[in-house]
Each structure stands twice: as structure tokens, then as C-alpha cells.
Structure 1
């Protein structure tokens, strides 16, 4: 029996239990919109900018662990979606982008809106640097196979986005249903790689014999749903844990063996623990620049002192930035189970480190005490520390926070306790402004019973305020907390520290701070909005917004205080060169830091 491809595509998505398609219309995809309109299971979320579609889809995929779906038009539709897709790619988030294209019989004729400067029918190739695969459908009968491969690729190995470029005539073609029926016969579940028994024993033995072991975790732990397995191993061997920004929530920030975030936004205590470790087990982390203090030897990590063991689902990450004694390709959940099993066989009684636990406890107590004064300060505009404290006191532990760029990401990673995995979502790799305001839409659709908020700067929110229209249209009850310092604050701080001015980074008219009145903008979209006028007012306003069960925006005037840091990032040494740093290499001693400078 022959059936139109668009209708069979909808059938396929329904069989995969897909609930939402995020997108923006265009003439190349109206055949798909017609098929979606007839579906009783699939809901189409129409947005006002394609970056919102891809970012909301990113949030949905993070909340569900399944590939989300984006539908977009060619040309400007494809390019507008780029940033959200690239952000998902760098954070290993599964996504399938279905993009309309010019009719297949018009290749080379430069039809309307085609990007066609150097090759015919090739605009989909602009996605190649950041998607796992970019497909173009040239034969209608191959569409089902390409579609199924796209979802399998997106969700397997290191997850990530996959693009399918579909000439608009292909959506309308009829093909025999047997081509789709053939792909339904296979299982959608793919067995993940495990850790070989001897390797697990070798890793366990190395950890047991180490004098100063550290487990360093990244976002891979959260993606692999391996938090319980991590905690079981940590508790049995009493090994302290450091984390990356993306690793926040992998183990509770309140766990007695959780040190905290390393690198630029880490503290001297944490960085000294990791730089003096004799063994570091890296789990689901790339040992990225900011987390590793630009790889300066002896600042956060030191390969002369430390044996590195690295386990990751992606073979390309093993040994990328530090030489490894043991490198393993494995699913982290399975790997941690195997290592714990081996550890229990080698040392049934486990290991206790009461002195270390007490040392970490005293450090955390001291760190929190150092913030007490500023986070309880009543001055207005508010301090970012006060905003975070009030949010934490009101927000349920199982609520989901999407951050953005600046204090709301770096400060949260440094000093905002997250106790449950999956309740904090950072834009890590690409660090995209505007991520938080759109990602919460997808997260809330995936978790309707959870409170979902974003902490976002005024610069970040200003990139795509039309998220408000989508939230209103589909009644998505989320809360935007706009931390408003009338600037691209972290860059203003960086520029001010090195060049003594803030040109191009602050918002002013005739020398006076300027921003749209974001609460009034929200009201214009039909959404509740409030601008707080005192520090004492914020907490009550936030609680009201959280319990309103409708979209709500709070505009919070905030001082532009950079995130305090004892860490080091090469970016400071590039702008203000140091004698002991040459071409990104720390020649002797420790690099000097620029006091209280942070970047996004």
C-alpha cells in the first residue's frame, strides 16, 4: 500500500513515543505541518525563532534522555536553528533536526532561499562541523532507513544531534508502507559497551592502593544516569569527588566527600586537592579548559604527580588533554558497577577516611561563612549572592533550574548546592546566551509536575524574548528570573579589569543605564511580570511566581559583581601577559590571577 511520506513519518514518531515536535513554519515543511495537524499523539510547539525551537528541544531531551525533534525551514530557518543545535552537540544532547530543503529537481538553479554559493544542493553541509551526521534524502524509498539511522545515531555512543535535509517534494512523495514496516522490526534499544572484568579489577586496585585518590566527574555521569553507582563507589572507598560545571548534580553538593568545582571557578582548596592527587579517575569529562585552569601544570591537575584513569563513552576523549595510565570506552553506569564489584572483592571491608571528611566539612563551612555577609546584604540593586540564597531557600530540591551565561551559571556552579541529579541544566560547551529562557520550555513539557525556572541575565534574556509568546500560547508555566545588571556583566568585568573601560558591554542611553522594562514586556505578551524594588521583596515575589502555575517573569535589578574566583584561566594571561607564561604555557610557579575577574 502506498502512503505519503509525511504521514508515514508522523506514524514513525508516534511509534517512538515522541510527544512533541519543536519548530517554525516555512514553505518547505507545510506538508509536514499538515500531517502533524492530523496526529492525536504528537503536539507541535510553534515558536517565533528557530533558535528557540532547537534550544527548547535541547531542554526536552536533557529532561527525558531521549532524542527530541526539531522541524525547520531551509535557508534562514536552518541557520537560525544552528546555535541551539551546536549547543546541544557540545553538551552531548540527542536531537534529530528535520529540515525542509529546495525541491530535488531544482538543484543548481538557485531557487528561493537556497544557500548555494559553492555547490548544488549542499546547504545542509553547514551543519557538518557539529552534528554526528548530516543526511540528505535523495531517494524517497531510502527515507525510512535514513530516519531510523538518525535516531539511533543521536541516542547511541556519545549522544548528539543529527540532521536530515528533506527536499520539500519528498514530504509529498508516496512510497510503499513496506519500507517503513521493515525498520519497525528492529529493536530501538542498543546494548552499551561494558567494562572488561580485568580492567575493572585493575582500576579498583589502583584506587585502593592510592594514597590521595580523586574521582573527577563530568556531565557524562548525569547523561548515563549513573549517579547512584557513583555514590555507591564513593561511599565504599571514601574517595573525594571533584566535578566540572557540567558534572554538577552527579553527586550531591552536600555529600561529605564532594569537593566542588575545579578550575577557574574553583577554589584553592579544591584545586590543590586535585593537583596533588596521586590517582585521578576521570568519568565522563573532557578535562576541558575552564575546568582544568587552561591545563597549566600544577594549578588544577599535574601529570607529573598524578596517574590518570579515564572512562568515557567517546573514544576521541580518552587522553585528549592528559596522558592516561588506563583508558576505557564504556557506559559509565555499567563501568561503575563493575569497578565497585571488583573493589569489594579486593577489599571487602572498604576504606574509611574520617580525617579527610572532617577536612572537607571544615572547608565547606568556612567557604559558606565567607559568603554570609554578602548573601544576607539588603542593599539594592541586589547582590547576586543574595538572589541565589533566596532562590535556594524557596525552590524545592527536585525543581529544575536552567542557567544561562554569567553569574547564573558560574556562580551557581561554584556556590549553589544541587542535591539531585538532573535538577540543574547548564549550557556548558557553547555557553550560549539565551539558552536558559528557551530550554525551560522543553524541560517543563517533559516534567509537567516539577517546578521549572531559569536564572538568566538581562543580556541573555534580551537575545530572544519571544520565548514569552510560546509560553503563553501553550500555557507552559515556567518562571524567568532576570538577573538584571544592565550589561553583559561578566564581559564588562573582564574588559574593565584589563583595559579599565567597559566599551560595548553595558547598556546606556545618554550615560544612564538602559534596558526594556522586562516585566512590562512580559505583560505585553499576556504574561504576569513583576519588577522588584527592594531586596526584601524578591523572595516573596519569587515564591508567588513559583506557585502561580502560569508563566511568570521577575525582573531583579542586580549589582554587577563578578563571580569571585581563586582559579586561573589563560584568557587573563593573554590579555595581561605575565612573565612566567609563554604561549599558553606556565613556565614557572603559578600564574597570577586577575582579582575577581570572570568570563562566560
Structure 2
């Protein structure tokens, strides 16, 4: 049997219907075998990083691990950004890379390059993958693929990288020579024992019985544990308010009465008040990223005991001094045991829920006063608020960075059967469009809405042709703000507004996307006014194929609320705690919202109202 045929058979055996990649000399045999077998479809993208990004949302949409197939040399180096992104967000996948003939790998092993384009790609990615190896013998190819497929999903998920020299791909072996991976070879997961997990849950429930203002915080680790359907029963059982992380937004209906939004450095003001006033914080399946908890863990929920449940012990260790209980467990196992626990509740938390409801009423997710239209441009936050009314019940959304990420994650309400996916770990520009491709393919080439920006579009613009070729119904919204808006604000803060490399006047321009749409044969729209919005959004939502819509916004629109530095009259800087978001509210108003008083930093901030 030809080894490349065995690779194709591996995909068939694991019911992998789609893979992503670009053909080259280093993977030509694999492409040929997959095509000849006819079961797996190769989605041919136009940049390898797009293949690795699409691989992620394919899994996030379908729950099915897939593969990116890269050629040698620059083909594999191009894929690295997508691999690091998958690693950061704990998304499983298999990268199959080609390499030079084994004889060159051996002869040139001590020099920089092997053969024509080869190099040691597993060594390059070993720190950003769960497993990376170069196959040295033909009979081990299937073994390594099976091992990678298992490891990718074992414990905390992540990408694996299998490098297969081209001569091994084209070689022939007898079926009896093929070595297979055994599940008992998987590395042992060092999680809390069942008895220790039960003991911790007893302590947590005991703490709940004593708490007055408990709070759940749900992360994407819950979906990775296939436990998202357990969240509503968990809330019903314990009657405790909940927040979601940005990565975990679509794990539970945003409209659930006990779900109070998304806290963080760009969080909703009401959510941050709830977080900072709780007295018991139970975090499940979240790595407690800086963008979520702020810059000083000791300023997070200062009056609260903190419980963190994570499958990765190293994540627990990074702030272990602050955590009351560190639970090293699968999120699903933890939630199921919480659901099985018999309660002796001494409180129904109705007073706390009323406080949370008042925060939500006083500080809604969208506040028109914070997000006015300006100079004839429409505001992106207002756009997202109005877009909520037009989302389909099963709308799947991907976003790029910048405007799409910030205003989308602050304002969009994601229902029970809707999805919102983005890169929250690496946060790389250019993610949105390949992500939409992966999600659409996972939906059997179904509809996906992609919220993008002019700067991010230029990072993977070539994938418009992938959408056209495969007739993927991607509704692509491009927020046009003349370059890199987030960095403009950074330059305002650091350099008194001096510009370098962020807009038309400082060295960066973006094309006319409507003209580009015509070149790609994609229908296009432009939204400049609310009259345009009311006219075009219903039309766009009815289109069955790909479509591009430019949304023109102010080139200097603010992203608020946000956690920012407070510059004092003497030039000094104060980094406030998470509840004290910009634009700053009066100290009296802030004090009324903080049940245990103001932080010293907040008392020292000079606020002009």
C-alpha cells in the first residue's frame, strides 16, 4: 500500500470530511491520494495561515477535529500564525507538513537548510503544539497520525504537528507492517482525584451557603468539555448570577435572566460592577486572561473568595496565592458533580439578584450617550445594537480584531442557537475571513456572518477567492475607519497623537473594497447612514451567496467603556481597578455602586464631569 493512501484512509476512518491546505511538492502525494479516495474534500485556500485558522473554526462549529495540509519550506512557515492561535485558544487540530526527501534530512541535519527548502519544522513549533514530530519510517506514519489525533483532544486541547518527508509519502509498505497507536499510550492526565474533586465541591457548596453575593464566570473551556448544555441546569439549581468570558460568549443564551454579560478591560460597565462586588467568584473553564481580569489579580473582586476550575494545572498555578480553591478538573466533570450535589441552601440570593438587575438597568450594554454618531459617520456600537434585531436564530458570526472584536463583543446578544467566534488568545489581525471559511465549511457550506475591518481584511484578502470558488455564503461586513484604529488611540495616549503607519496620512492605505468586490464577482453594499442601514441590511440578510458590505465609521471613533490610564493634572498616571472604567463617572456615583467602598486609586482620580 502507498503511504499517502494510508494517510487518506486515516482521514476516512476518523470521518474527517474536509481538510484545508495548499498543494506543493512536499504534499503532492497526499493531495493526490485524498482526491482519489473521494471521501475527504480538500478546501484549497490561498495562504497557509488561513488553512490553520479555518481548521480552528471548523472544530469550534462542528466539534470535529480536522487537518491543515502544508507543503515544505515556506508552506509550513506560513502556517505558524494559525498554529499559535490554535495553541493560545486550546483548539485541537492536526497539521500535516511535507518535508524534503529523508536522505537530505540526514545528510544536511547539521546545516541550516535540508535539500531544497527543508528545515526542522517540528523543532520550530514544539513550544506551541501539544505534540510535534518528524516521521522517520514509513510504517510509523499512521501511528503518528493516530497519536496526534488522540493527543490533540486529550486533556486541554490543542494543535499537533506531524512532519512527513515526501519520500515516505510516496513509498509502499505491506499492511501488516503498519504500526498503530494504542489509547493506553496517552500520557496520564494529572487531574484532581475523584475524591479530591468531591471534597472541593463540598467546600465550594459550603462557601455558597455562607455567601451573600456569589457569581459564576463561564469560559470557553466549558464548550471544549462539551458541557455547554449543562449551564442552564446549573443556574436553575443554584440561582446564582453569571458572567461569560469573551471566548465563552456563545456557551449560554445572552438573554438568560441570570446572565449579566461580559466583564473585562473592555467589559460592560454593569458586568464589571457585578464582578467587583461579588463575595464568592466561581470561575469555570477560563484561563483568567489579563484582558478579562485586569492588570493586577489582587484588584479583582477584592472582597471575594475566588474558585478557579481548570484542566491545566499551570494555569491554576499562575495566580494560586489569590485563589481560595484551585480545582484541577475537566469543566464538564466539575459541573456534573455540582449538579449531583444535594443542597442545604440557606439563601436564595434574591437580594443579590436584585442588585445585579439594577446594575443592568442603570448601565445597559449599549448606551447611546457613550456612542454618538459624529461628523456624519455612524457609530459601530450603534451598528451592532441595531444589527441584533436582524440576526437569524441560527446566525454564526466570526470577527476579526479591532472594531469588529470590541464593539461586537460588547453589544451583540448571542442566542441559544447562535455562535460568535474569534481569536481571543493570540488576537491576530486577519483571523476573521479564514475563520468564516472554516465555520461555513463545517456547516456544509452554510451561512456565516464575518465582522471585519479594513486593516484586518488586508492580512488575508486573498481568501475572498476561496469564498468565491466554493460559493460560500459569507456575509462580510468591513468597518472602514482608515487604517488601524486601536493603534491610533494608543498613539494618542503615548505620543500626543503623533501618527506613524496607521492611516492614509502616515503611510497606510486600504483599497476600495466595493471595487474589489466587483473584481471578485461579489455583490457589494456601502452603509454610510442609518437610512442605508435600514434599506440594505434586510437585503443583505436575504442574499444566499457571498456578499460584501462596507460600513463607514469615524476614523477616530472611541472604544468605550474601557479600562484606561487616568492622567492627573500634575502629569502623573493612575491605573484604576476594573470597576473604574473610562469614561470616568463621578466619584459619588462610583461610590454608590461599590458596596464596600472605593479603591484608594479611584479616590485619587481627578474626574471632570
Tell me the TM-score normalized by structure 2.
0.86
Q: Answer 1 or 2: higher relative contact order, Cα 8 Å, separation at least 6.
A: 1
DSSP 3-state at the match of 2:254: coil
**Residues 479/267 of structure 1: CA separation in 2 closer, same or farther (3 Å cut):** closer
CA shift, 1:40, in A, is: 1.9
Contact 2:395 2:417 in 1 (8 A): no
**Residues 555/15 of structure 1: CA separation in 2 closer, same or farther (3 Å cut):** same
CA shift, 1:274, in A, is: 2.5
Deviation string 1:60-87 (CA, Å, 9 cap, x unpaired) is 1111222220001122111111111111
Contact 2:21 2:48 in 1 (8 A): yes
**Which residue of 27, 43, 46 corresponds with 2:44?**
46
**Residues 542/422 of structure 1: CA separation in 2 closer, same or farther (3 Å cut):** closer
Question: Is 200-209 or 308-317 further displaced after alignment?
Answer: 200-209
**Residues 446/503 of structure 1: CA separation in 2 closer, same or farther (3 Å cut):** same
DSSP 3-state at the match of 2:468: helix
Contact 2:398 2:421 in 1 (8 A): yes
Contact 1:99 1:166 in 2 (8 A): yes
Contact 2:393 2:417 in 1 (8 A): no
- 1:512 and 1:57 map into 2 onto residues whose CA distance is 33
Contact 1:66 1:94 in 2 (8 A): no
> 1:365 — aligned with what?
361
> 2:529 — aligned with what?
534
**Which residue of 505, 519, 534 corresponds with 2:514?**
519
Contact 2:252 2:415 in 1 (8 A): yes
Deviation string 1:345-369 (CA, Å, 9 cap, x unpaired) is 232x685233333332332233338
1:301 matches 2:301: yes
Aligned length: 574
Deviation string 1:445-477 (CA, Å, 9 cap, x unpaired) is 112485311111110011111111101111111
> 1:285 — aligned with what?
286
Tell me the TM-score normalized by structure 1.
0.88
**Which residue of 463, 482, 487 corresponds with 2:483?**
487
**Which residue of 141, 147, 150 corresponds with 2:148?**
150
**Residues 170/368 of structure 1: CA separation in 2 closer, same or farther (3 Å cut):** same
What is the correspondence of 1:71-110 to structure 2 with a 5 Å cutoff? 71-107=69-105
> 1:466 — aligned with what?
462
Deviation string 1:563-591 (CA, Å, 9 cap, x unpaired) is 10253579x99xx863689xxxxx95349
**Which residue of 516, 534, 547 corresponds with 2:542?**
547
DSSP 3-state at the match of 2:122: helix
**Which residue of 319, 322, 337 corresponds with 1:321?**
319
**Residues 535/316 of structure 1: CA separation in 2 closer, same or farther (3 Å cut):** same
**Which residue of 572, 578, 581 corresponds with 2:573?**
578
- 2:37 and 2:167 map into 1 onto residues whose CA distance is 21
> 2:266 — aligned with what?
265
What is the correspondence of 1:371-410 to structure 2 with a 5 Å cutoff? 371-372=367-368, 380-410=376-406
1:346 matches 2:343: yes
DSSP 3-state at the match of 1:504: coil
> 1:177 — aligned with what?
175
DSSP 3-state at the match of 2:97: strand
**Residues 527/276 of structure 1: CA separation in 2 closer, same or farther (3 Å cut):** same
- 1:504 and 1:593 map into 2 onto residues whose CA distance is 31
DSSP 3-state at the match of 1:74: coil
Q: Which runs of 5+ in 1 are unaligned?
A: 582-586, 596-600
Question: Is 526-535 or 394-403 further displaced after alignment?
Answer: 526-535
Q: Which runs of 5+ in 2 are unaligned?
A: 577-598
Question: Is 488-497 or 524-533 further displaced after alignment?
Answer: 524-533
CA shift, 1:25, in A, is: 1.4
> 2:591 — aligned with what?
none
CA shift, 1:184, in A, is: 8.9
1:503 matches 2:503: no
- 2:159 and 2:183 map into 1 onto residues whose CA distance is 24
Deviation string 1:163-188 (CA, Å, 9 cap, x unpaired) is 00111111011122235584599999
**Residues 185/506 of structure 1: CA separation in 2 closer, same or farther (3 Å cut):** closer
Contact 2:214 2:241 in 1 (8 A): yes
Output the aligned Cα RMSD.
Answer: 3.2
Question: Is 122-131 or 190-199 further displaced after alignment?
Answer: 190-199
- 1:378 and 1:588 map into 2 onto residues whose CA distance is 35
Contact 1:286 1:321 in 2 (8 A): no
